[in-house]
C-alpha cells in the first residue's frame, strides 16, 4: 500500500478529536481514526468501543474509560466535556473515542458544542454507525431499488427511559419503509406495539441484530408481532438494533457474514 499518512492532518497538541470507532470490527476504522490512535496522548473511550480497537492505541498514550471516577461509573456528560477541555488545556492531544459515529446517538454534538464554547480546537472523525455496519453485516441493503427509497434511524429509548415523544409515529410509519431502531431492547414491546398501532402490519418482517460486526453477532429474523417472544427465546442482548421493513427479507439471501464467521471460527477483522 502507498504511504497515505502524509495526506492526513497533524494531531495538534491542545486539540480534541471526536472520533467514531465504528460498531465493532476494527477493520471498519477509518484511516483518520487509526492515525489519531497512533498520535493521541490521551484516549477517553466509551464502553461500547470494541476491546480489539483499544489494543490499537499507542502504548504511550493514557487510556481512560469515559465517565469513570475512582472505578465508579458516572457517565455524566458535563463531566466528560469538562475533562476533554481540561486535558486539551494541558496541551495534550485528546482523542475522544466513541462507538459507531460520534454524531449518531453518540452525544458528540454536546461535546463538540462544549469544545466550541471553550474555544478548544477540535476535529470530527465520522465512523461507521451501527445501523450502517449492522445492516451490511446482516446482508440488508439500507436502500434497495424497488423496495425502499428512504430509510430512517431512530432511538427506542428516550432520556426518561420511554419511547421518544418527539417522533411523529404515524408520519414515520407511512413515510419510511425501512426503520432502524437504536437502543430497542428495553422498550421492544412498547415499540413494536406503537409501530403496529401507527399502521405497520403485525406480520411485517423484522430483524434483531446484536453485537453487529463482531464474532458474536447474532441476527434473529422475526416479525413486529413476534419480536418480543423471539428476542427472549434467542437471548438477544444489547447492543442491538431492531430493523423493520420489507427489505429485511434480503437477509436470507445476503447473509454473508454468518457464512464467513462459520468458515473462520476465530472471527476477527475482515
**215 vs 246 by CB, closer to ligand SAH:** 215
Residue reference for cell 457517565 = 75
Q: How far is CA 70 from the centre of its chain?
A: 27
Shortest Å distance, C-beta 39 to ligand SAH: 23
**92 vs 243 by CB, closer to ligand SAH:** 243
**115 vs 241 by CB, closer to ligand SAH:** 241
Cα separation, 259 vs 263, whole angstroms: 6
Cα separation, 92 vs 40, whole angstroms: 8
Q: Cα dihedral sign for 184, 186, 192, 193? A: negative
Shortest Å distance, C-beta 105 to ligand SAH: 4
Cα separation, 192 vs 183, whole angstroms: 13
Tell which residue, 102, 245, 242, 224, has the closest CA to residue 183. Answer: 242
**Binding residues vs ligand SAH (CB under 6 A):** 23-24, 48, 98-101, 104-106, 129-130, 134, 182-183, 209-213, 238-241
Q: What angle do CA 45, 46, 52 make, to 5 degrees?
A: 70
Catalytic positions, please? 46, 68, 183
Shortest Å distance, C-beta 81 to ligand SAH: 16
**37 vs 92 by CB, closer to ligand SAH:** 37
Shortest Å distance, C-beta 141 to ligand SAH: 17
Amino acid at each position: 500500500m502507498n504511504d497515505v499518512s502524509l495526506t492526513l492532518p497533524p494531531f495538534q497538541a491542545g486539540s480534541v478529536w471526536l472520533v467514531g470507532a465504528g460498531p465493532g470490527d476494527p477493520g471498519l476504522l477509518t484511516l483518520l481514526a487509526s492515525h489519531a490512535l497512533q498520535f493521541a496522548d490521551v484516549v477517553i473511550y466509551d464502553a461500547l468501543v470494541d476491546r480489539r480497537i483499544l489494543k490499537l492505541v499507542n502504548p504511550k498514550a493514557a487510556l481512560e474509560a469515559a465517565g469513570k471516577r475512582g472505578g465508579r461509573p458516572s457517565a455524566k456528560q458535563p463531566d466528560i466535556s469538562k475533562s476533554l477541555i481540561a486535558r486539551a488545556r494541558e496541551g495534550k492531544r485528546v482523542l475522544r473515542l466513541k462507538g459507531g459515529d460520534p454524531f449518531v446517538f453518540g452525544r458528540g454534538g454536546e461535546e463538540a458544542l462544549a469544545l466550541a464554547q471553550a474555544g478548544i480546537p477540535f476535529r470530527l472523525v465520522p465512523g461507521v454507525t451501527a445501523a450502517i455496519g449492522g445492516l451490511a453485516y446482516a446482508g440488508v441493503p439500507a436502500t434497495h431499488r424497488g423496495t425502499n427509497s428512504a430509510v430512517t434511524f431512530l432511538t427506542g429509548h428516550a432520556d426518561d427511559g420511554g419511547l421518544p415523544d418527539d417522533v411523529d409515529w404515524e408520519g414515520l410509519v407511512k413515510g419510511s419503509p425501512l426503520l432502524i431502531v437504536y437502543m430497542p431492547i428495553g422498550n421492544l414491546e412498547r415499540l413494536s406495539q406503537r409501530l403496529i398501532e401507527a399502521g405497520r402490519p403485525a406480520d411485517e418482517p423484522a430483524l434483531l441484530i446484536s453485537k453487529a460486526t463482531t464474532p458474536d453477532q447474532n441476527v434473529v429474523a422475526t416479525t413486529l408481532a413476534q419480536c418480543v417472544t423471539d428476542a427472549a427465546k434467542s437471548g438477544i442482548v444489547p447492543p442491538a438494533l431492531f430493523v423493520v421493513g420489507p427489505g429485511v427479507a434480503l437477509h436470507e439471501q445476503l447473509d454473508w457474514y454468518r457464512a464467513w464467521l462459520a468458515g473462520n471460527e476465530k472471527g476477527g477483522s475482515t
